Amino acid sequence: MMTFSFDSLRQDKRAAIAATVGIGLVLAVFPFIVGSALGNSWLRILDFALLYIMLALGLNIVVGFAGLLDMGYIAFYAVGAYLYALLASPHFGLHLPVWIIIPCGAVLAGIAGALLGAPTLRLRGDYLAIVTLGFGEIVRIFMNNLNAPVNITNGPQGISSIDPIHLGGVTLAKPLSVLGITVPSLHAYYYLFLALALLIIFVSIRLQDSRIGRAWVAIREDEIAAKACGINTRNIKLLAFTMGASFGGVAGGLFAGFQGFVSPESFNLMESIMILCMVVLGGMGHIPGVILGGVMLTVLPEFFRHSAGPIQQALFGKILLDPEALRMLLFGLALVLVMLYRPAGLWPSTIRRREFSSGTDKEGA
Amino acid sequence: MKPTLLIANAISKQFGGVKALTDVSLTIRKGEIYGLIGPNGAGKTTFFNVLTGLYHPNGGELLFEGYKLRASAPHLAAQSGIARTFQNIRLFSNMTALENVMVGRHVRTQAGVVGAVLRDPQTRREEADIHRRAEELLHYVGVADRANDLAKHLSYGDQRRLEIARALATEPKLLALDEPAAGMNASETAELRVLIEGIRNDGITVLLIEHDVKLVMGLCDRVAVLDYGVKICEDVPAVVQKNPKVIEAYLGGSVA
């Protein structure tokens, strides 16, 4: 009996290592495959997908775990992006390194999250949604109008010529040469974003399976019972807002460095809704589902954009409908279908059944 | 006489023009099972909600182990050792039975974000302790075999027991049960009675709101009766049962 269970355990471990190595290899060569098969525009989409995964995971903490419907999440993305833009562009003549700006962005966005959380602690559901929606718009309007009397954000023109991300003396804007292999800029960004996305996934998983994560879910399930269990719901909710926002701040900083340009346009309500859709559609509160949601909702609209034209050409011999308009139509249809047929999301969490007796530590620690 | 655990001093609570509680004073001693009964709408649950910090009283104060309880701070009430269950069960429906009890350990543990992310030895030890204690409590109340089922899939009686396990996880000195036998059949009520007596024998004081008069009279050391927000009687069950005011409150006016 003992040897059998030990053997199966060892086999499990081996399988896990094999799977990790396999996934790692796929992720490592993925940009080269995409780049050579589909071209640079898809590589950019891939980079954006990673940014949206970070955003979706951040919002998942607030909406998925703690059950607080936040419709203004993009504001934290904006805070991170503008901080990077202000500290690394000719606008103020500052050119701070990325390893200072990104953590600062996370902290500043976290503070913004707490500022949003504090006045909304008593609100839930639709009321909270309305207040957070207002908050998101306020941040965007601030960015739009903080160009007078003192020009801070350069108003609607936005901030351009932002420094590309550079680590040490290496800039990601030009192709890199590593061990004789040339890594183009988009690939380099992919690896950086992937590393940070993996970090955020790791933090999310660790938080979910912890005392704090359980408290978040308890608040989502029944706030009064959570209070009666001794959970300080005020602090734990503020913590959810802060953690979620800080992920958004990181993604925002990376976005600014990647894009080289930020303007208030990029942070409108539609973007907040898009990220909320990723969380809801993927499977609220379930990390793999949310990642899937992030990828799907970044890739699908682009797929429709790229395919709507050629398909019409092949079917009818000419383009009847503008692909740009058709893309959102098809996208909307896809959303409706998913919600009708998979109301819990594409990949909802299953009831976690522990295969082995509940006596064994599930972490194997 | 046993030492005092809780003193309620002239607690009043109004909702608009309705006086739900008027100058209710009572004393609960360590180690007893104290019953709180009264007709529907008498203010029993309101008293519970004031006691556990969910409502802010309009007047009066609560002394728990000699210290004044801060009003409307449920998590502080739990921290100082008052745990409760709810009349209409309030479990975390989409968490497993085990996780429900693990949440109850929150107030006695301290791992924060850094501990959760780094999972240092101290946090791992604490998590293992939480897990072990939660399992023990599930065994204690008798729902261990449903540990990995979602709380909402448990039977009604099991949900009541699970709620008690979650309350016990906070290491209470005073366990307040709001109609735990509601909706239970005779055999389930008998099992519940054994459970409550066991809890008391483990040194936890029990405050019990109950409609099942037979259960209250059989189980409680002392009983207080509320009627229209006023305490009309507080004594041992045998005396309470014979009190004319209590009979009047329950039967509605003098028997013609």
CATH label of the domain that carries residue A219: 1.10.3470
Asked if the structure places residue B218 within a domain, the reply is yes
Mean pLDDT, chain A, whole residue set: 88
pLDDT of residue A360: 39
pLDDT of residue B226: 93
CA A91 to chain centre: 27
Nearest residue on chain A to B133, alpha-carbon basis: A359
Residue B132 has pLDDT above 90, yes or no: yes
Which among A210, A232, A239 has CB closest to B75? Answer: A232
Query: Contact A221/B104, CB-based, under 8 Å?
Result: no
Least trusted range by pLDDT, from A170-174, B75-79, B92-96? A170-174
Find the helix packing angle between A287-316 and A185-208, rounded to 10°: 140
Asked if the structure places residue A352 within a domain, the reply is no
The structure tokens listed for A201 are: 């996934």
Give the integer Cα–Cα distance in Å for A174 and A195. Answer: 19
- Provide the percentage of residues in chain A whose pLDDT is more than 90: 64
Provide the domain limits for residue A93. Answer: 30-341
Phi then psi for residue A283, to 5 deg, are 135, 95
pLDDT of residue B52: 94
Inform me whether the C-beta atom of residue A344 falls under 8 Å from chain B C-beta atoms: no
Task: Please compute the mean of the pLDDT values over residues B122-142 and round it to a whole number.
Answer: 96
Which among A224, A363, A365 has CB closest to B54? Answer: A224
> Which residues have a Cβ under 8 Å from the Cβ of B164 and sit 6 or more positions away?
B85, B141, B175, B177, B180, B195, B199
Provide the domain limits for residue B235. Answer: 1-81+172-256
Inform me whether the C-beta atom of residue A166 falls under 8 Å from chain B C-beta atoms: no
Residue A5 has pLDDT above 80, yes or no: no
Task: Please compute the mean of the pLDDT values over residues A301-312 and round it to a whole number.
Answer: 84
Asked if the structure places residue B21 within a domain, the reply is yes
> Which residues have a Cβ under 8 Å from the Cβ of A236 and sit 6 or more positions away?
A66, A212, A215, A216, A219
Q: Please tell me chain A's helix, strand, coil percentages from 3-state DSSP, rounded to the nearest 5.
A: 70, 5, 25
Asked if B75 and B182 sit in the same domain, the reply is yes
Mean pLDDT, chain B, whole residue set: 92
pLDDT of residue B253: 57
Query: Contact B74/A227, CB-based, under 8 Å?
Result: yes
Asked if the structure places residue A149 within a domain, the reply is yes
- Residue among A61, A107, A199, A211 with most chain B CBs within 10 A, to mutate: A211
pLDDT, tens digit, 9 for 90 and up, residues A255-273: 999 999 999 999 999 999 9
Task: Please compute the mean of the pLDDT values over residues B20-43 and round it to a whole number.
Answer: 93
CA A325 to chain centre: 26
pLDDT of residue A105: 97
SS3 B73: coil
The ipTM (two decimal places) reads: 0.93
| DSSP letter (8 states) at residue B91 | -
Which among A211, A224, A230 has CB closest to B78? Answer: A230
Asked if the structure places residue A19 within a domain, the reply is no
Inform me whether the C-beta atom of residue A222 falls under 8 Å from chain B C-beta atoms: yes
Query: Contact A212/B135, CB-based, under 8 Å?
Result: no
Domain total for chain A?
Answer: 1
Query: Where a domain ends, among B166, B183, B202?
Result: B166
pLDDT of residue A89: 93
Query: Where a domain ends, among B166, B186, B202?
Result: B166
Chain B residues in contact with A226 (beta carbon < 8 A): 92, 103
Give the integer Cα–Cα distance in Å for B237 and A237. Answer: 45
User: Looking at the DSSP assignment, which residues form a beta bridge with residue A88?
Assistant: A95
pLDDT, tens digit, 9 for 90 and up, residues B38-61: 888 899 999 999 999 999 999 999
Domain total for chain B?
Answer: 2
Asked if the structure places residue A350 within a domain, the reply is no
Asked if B157 and B177 sit in the same domain, the reply is no
Chain B residues in contact with A203 (beta carbon < 8 A): 117
Find the helix packing angle between B121-141 and A211-221, rounded to 10°: 50
pLDDT of residue A329: 84
Asked if the structure places residue B153 within a domain, the reply is yes
Contact (Cβ atoms closer than 8 angstroms) between residue A247 and residue A50: no
Size of interface A-B (CB pairs under 8 A): 121
Task: Scan for tokens 């005396």, then name that residue.
Answer: B239
User: Looking at the DSSP assignment, which residues form a beta bridge with residue B33?
Assistant: B206
- Provide the percentage of residues in chain A whose pLDDT is more than 70: 93
Asked if B162 and B181 sit in the same domain, the reply is no
Inform me whether the C-beta atom of residue A124 falls under 8 Å from chain B C-beta atoms: no
Give the integer Cα–Cα distance in Å for A111 and B161. Answer: 41
Which among A215, A351, A365 has CB closest to B106? Answer: A215
Q: Which domain CATH number covers B10?
A: 3.40.50.300
The structure tokens listed for B13 are: 């609570």
Asked if the structure places residue B72 within a domain, the reply is yes
DSSP strand E in A50-174: where?
A: 88-89, 94-95, 166-167, 170-171
In which band, very low, low, confident or very high, does the pLDDT at A176 lie, cut at 50, 70 and 90?
confident
Burial A82-95 (b: 16+ CB within 10 A, else e): bbbbbbbbebeeee
Query: Contact B96/A351, CB-based, under 8 Å?
Result: yes
pLDDT of residue A6: 57
Give the integer Cα–Cα distance in Å for B227 and B233. Answer: 9
Query: Where a domain ends, among B145, B166, B187?
Result: B166
pLDDT, tens digit, 9 for 90 and up, residues B95-110: 999 999 999 999 999 9
SS3 A299: helix
Residue B9 has pLDDT above 50, yes or no: yes
Residue A123 has pLDDT above 80, yes or no: yes
Inform me whether the C-beta atom of residue A200 falls under 8 Å from chain B C-beta atoms: no
